[in-house]
Structure 1
Amino acid sequence: MEPDNPWEEFTIIAIPQAWDLEPDKQPECCIYRVPQNLRNVNEDAYTPKEISIGHGKENLKKNEESKLRCFLDACYRTKKTQGELAKCVQEKELKIRHCYAENFHEISKEDFEKMILLGFIFIIGHLWCTTRYPEENNIHEKVSDILHDLILLENQVPFSVLEELYNFAYRDLPNPHNEDNSFHKLVLDYFLCFWKDSYLKNVSSDDYNEIRKEERIKRRLPCATKLAEAAVEFKEYKNKRLSFKRVGYWKGDTTNRVIRNFMAFEQCHYPHETYICNYIVLLDHLTKTEIDVDLLVEKKVLDNWLGRDEAVVNLINKLCHQIVEDNHSCYHDISERINEHYMGYWSKIMASLKSQYFHDFWRGSITVAGILALFFAFWSFLRPFISLR
């Protein structure tokens, strides 16, 4: 006798809802913890020094008072009540949680909303004050430290929610440096306070798409010195919109921290579009000794703000620790062409001649003089026979 319900004999499979998934499996997840293998290489590069947003680092508990003062100042400046500002976060609480790979189960709903609200208001207030009074802030050491903390991978916040909070509270406040009062313009102006000479202010989506290729670097490139000996010429890239030449733009260890966090974000969120990782790997191929760095600096490919060439070699080489070359490098084509040239027969001959006889101006002059002397000697020898004819 068949059952009345044909599905009774089948096992019911429970399909989890979106809110039951682990944080890093949520489709909205975009803010990650630094992978442990990267953190082990350099713990300090991923640790905030002034401000922690959303994670409550023990060594930065004293800065919670700064966030609270900033929140009270925001209420006074924007004429919004604490409840009105809190509502902007409360309505997005679940969405915000899903943006983080970190598990916040141990934090209550109220504490999570408070933590996020104070962090969001601090970021907006810091950006607004820095761009509103750039002459007072952009050279301040602590302001610069906060900038570097806000770039760290684990210190990120959902941009869309941050923008909504800004539009609700700050959009109507006059700012002579931001005529349309847009949040995008505010963020851009903030970073340009520190990066006025960088390529970022002119980058366009068309330029970005030009470097999106799905190829692979098959062979490791020789170092810059060997390539130069093989008649490979290095030149400064004139299009500043795509130039990464300011590898040492920040002095000291800041370069290391900033680039490491960019690379960690790429590996977590864009594992097949790791442009910064690929570029650093390319530099690692080219810079094996101080002589390589000196050559690249001379050709204006790099700017060395770290002082010693050895420091640049160490910085670039260490940045590649625990970084695996992916299968979709945008430098595949040019690397293949360079390798083919370097391995070619004639390039080796030309390199040898250049290295031995035209290494510098004086050696080249002596070589030319020797060639001319040999020519005239040979001509003097042949001239009597030619004249007899």
Structure 2
Amino acid sequence: METAAVWGPREFQLANLTMEPAVWAPGLPVAIFGGCLQTSVPSSGGGQLVEHAAATQNDPIEKPAQEFEVGLEMKIQNPIHVFEKAAHEFDADIDMMKVKMHRYPSNIGALGEWHTVPMVVAIGPYHHDREHLKQAEKVKHVAAYHCIRDSGHSVQETYDAVVSVAHDARSLYDKDVVAGIGDDDFLPMMFYDACFLVQYMLSCTPTGSEEMDPSLRSFLDSNDRDIVHDVMLLENQLPWRVVETVMRFRPVPLEEFFTCLKRCLQDRKVREKEPFVLDDSYQPPHLLGLLRFYIVGRSNTKRPPKPETESISFSVSAIELAEIGITLAANKTTELIHMGVKKKGPIFAELSLAPLSLDDARASWLVNMAALELCTIPRFEDAEDEESAVCSYLLLLDMFVDREEDVHELRTKHLLQGGGGLTNKEALDFFRSLQGLRLGSCYVRVMEEIENYRVKRRMWIKVHAFVYKNMRTIVMVISAIGALVGIFGTIRSLKVHAH
């Protein structure tokens, strides 16, 4: 017989929650129930440690061998095996690059803590101990309570399911960070953080929001801007397998969730929303990776033939594009992958990109998506276009701006939309700070398309460039000719009247 019990963070009293006979709450003190002390301690992974120790004793790498001294103090045995072990560990890290929980890369310019540090809630271990995030820890317990109560399952069942995958999740984080965190802290962290994310995703959907507890929904709604900023930080992620485990008990209508967030980079919303279809073939590392996947979209563009020229420029300004007859335009679609040069008649062409409503939140989302690409894809040239689309998109926008006037020009072309958000100077500073990004394959493809346009329309480009550069003079000459024609016409008219 199951017994109604009280569980929660210290003084936090929760009612109507079905419990197993043991009355522990993950990561919290043991409760006194029914006049007797009952305990049920979650597995701490000790078996793994013993297993590892045994393996270490039998490992041939560790067998006695010839010793030699390094420096004055350090002694190691059979050094080639030590180096071999380090190489194996390094290879294992490389193989796991696409699924690891990465730290923010140093090759992106220092953009401030806004792009790396959460404002309200820590997800995972990297920022867990920051003082200004402690208040949200209480909210996580509330989220866990409602998550379990609405699921119809017990705490024990849900927690054990998370623990079954959380041990593997530990290996995905930075070893130096998790080395100082015991399982008694790490496993409850995975549980509470996953419950919080599930409840947050539910709050973003019409169905989940209507059914949610009013108090919890009030907190999530009032802090929505900061929370959505936090859950899209590279250093604030939870392995998706852990989140999926909780969603088995408390399902989230992901189609509704991604329909709400897919167009998050634009203020202009389409009333008639296309039905969203999940791609079951993609296995995301975490929530940021999943959002990036759907915001980027999938490409159906074939790579153009290489330009028939001895050299190719990998940078071109907006003015140079205008000189050769290529205009900038905003795509009707909002997926970032759709960028490229298209013919507009026999002479002109158009370079189109997805529009962007740029404010500080969206700037942070794009930077963290680009950081994810840098961390997970070692060589962009060997990967599909989608794998480096965010880096390509940001570098193309950066290529078009050297002055505040250039940012304003992007607004007139509707590439930058909306009247709020970053000022022209702030937008210019943001784009200028991204020059450390690697050249994505989409970026390279666009440069090749521009070069192909140059090669195939050399004569037209020369004519257009002459007209473009001398437009003011040409207009003045045409105006002068018009004036002279008018004068001659007046003189002729006067002569006719005189006769």
TM-score scaled to structure 2, two decimals? 0.59
Structure-2 change in CA distance of 1:375 and 1:277 (3 Å): same
C-alpha distance in 2 between matches for 1:291 and 1:203: 38
Q: Does 1:133 align with 2:209?
A: yes
Kindly provide the amino acid, as one letter, of the partner of residue 165 in structure 2: K
In structure 2, the partner of 1:296 is 410
In structure 1, the partner of 2:322 is 228
Q: Does 1:96 align with 2:169?
A: yes
Structure-2 change in CA distance of 1:339 and 1:292 (3 Å): farther
Contact 1:341–1:347 (8 Å) recurs in 2: no
C-alpha distance in 2 between matches for 1:26 and 1:192: 29
Structure 2 residue aligned with 1:266, among 359, 364, 373?
Answer: 373
In structure 1, the partner of 2:13 is none
Structure-2 change in CA distance of 1:376 and 1:187 (3 Å): closer
Structure 2 residue aligned with 1:256, among 351, 363, 370?
Answer: 363
Contact 1:245–1:302 (8 Å) recurs in 2: no
Deviates more, 1:258-267 or 1:196-205: 196-205
Kindly provide the amino acid, as one letter, of the partner of residue 231 in structure 1: G
Quote how far apart the aligned CAs of 1:198 are.
6.7
Deviates more, 1:115-124 or 1:102-111: 102-111
In structure 1, the partner of 2:250 is 170
Kindly provide the amino acid, as one letter, of the partner of residue 449 in structure 2: I
Contact 1:34–1:264 (8 Å) recurs in 2: yes
Contact 1:26–1:98 (8 Å) recurs in 2: no
| Structure with more strand by fraction | 2
Quote how far apart the aligned CAs of 1:340 are.
5.1
C-alpha distance in 2 between matches for 1:189 and 1:367: 55
Contact 1:230–1:351 (8 Å) recurs in 2: yes
Q: Does 1:308 align with 2:462?
A: no
C-alpha distance in 1 between matches for 2:219 and 2:327: 38
C-alpha distance in 2 between matches for 1:279 and 1:269: 17
Contact 1:213–1:330 (8 Å) recurs in 2: yes
In structure 1, the partner of 2:147 is 74
Structure-2 change in CA distance of 1:91 and 1:139 (3 Å): closer
In structure 1, the partner of 2:122 is 52
Contact 1:357–1:367 (8 Å) recurs in 2: no
Structure 2 residue aligned with 1:325, among 439, 450, 456?
Answer: 439
Deviates more, 1:132-141 or 1:41-50: 132-141
Kindly provide the amino acid, as one letter, of the partner of residue 43 in structure 1: E
Contact 2:329–2:415 (8 Å) recurs in 1: yes
In structure 2, the partner of 1:209 is 299
Of structures 1 and 2, the one scoring higher in RCO (CA 8 A, sep 6+) is: 1
SS state of the match for residue 231, structure 2?
helix
Structure-2 change in CA distance of 1:138 and 1:301 (3 Å): farther
| Structure with more helix by fraction | 1
C-alpha distance in 2 between matches for 1:102 and 1:306: 38
- What are the Cα deviations for residues 61-96 of structure 1, in whole angstroms up to 9, with x where unaligned? 222111112112222222322211111111112321
After superposition, the CA RMSD in angstroms is 4.3
Aligned length: 351
Quote how far apart the aligned CAs of 1:190 are.
4.8
Structure-2 change in CA distance of 1:190 and 1:90 (3 Å): farther
- What are the Cα deviations for residues 241-283 of structure 1, in whole angstroms up to 9, with x where unaligned? 456544334x3x2232111111110000124232111221111
In structure 1, the partner of 2:156 is 83
Deviates more, 1:219-228 or 1:271-280: 219-228
Structure 1: where are the runs of 5+ without partners?
1-10, 172-180, 379-389
In structure 1, the partner of 2:26 is none
Structure-2 change in CA distance of 1:75 and 1:202 (3 Å): closer
In structure 2, the partner of 1:188 is 258
In structure 2, the partner of 1:107 is 181
C-alpha distance in 2 between matches for 1:101 and 1:126: 26
SS state of the match for residue 151, structure 1?
coil
Q: Does 1:285 align with 2:403?
A: no
- Percent identity of the aligned residues? 20
C-alpha distance in 1 between matches for 2:242 and 2:175: 18
- What are the Cα deviations for residues 32-52 of structure 1, in whole angstroms up to 9, with x where unaligned? 111234374433311111111
Contact 2:124–2:236 (8 Å) recurs in 1: yes
Quote how far apart the aligned CAs of 1:377 are.
10
- What are the Cα deviations for residues 322-367 of structure 1, in whole angstroms up to 9, with x where unaligned? 323357734232242366589x5753553343343358xxx84x54
Kindly provide the amino acid, as one letter, of the partner of residue 286 in structure 1: F
SS state of the match for residue 301, structure 1?
coil
Structure 2: where are the runs of 5+ without partners?
1-77, 280-295, 339-352, 381-386, 489-499
TM-score scaled to structure 1, two decimals? 0.74
Contact 2:404–2:424 (8 Å) recurs in 1: yes
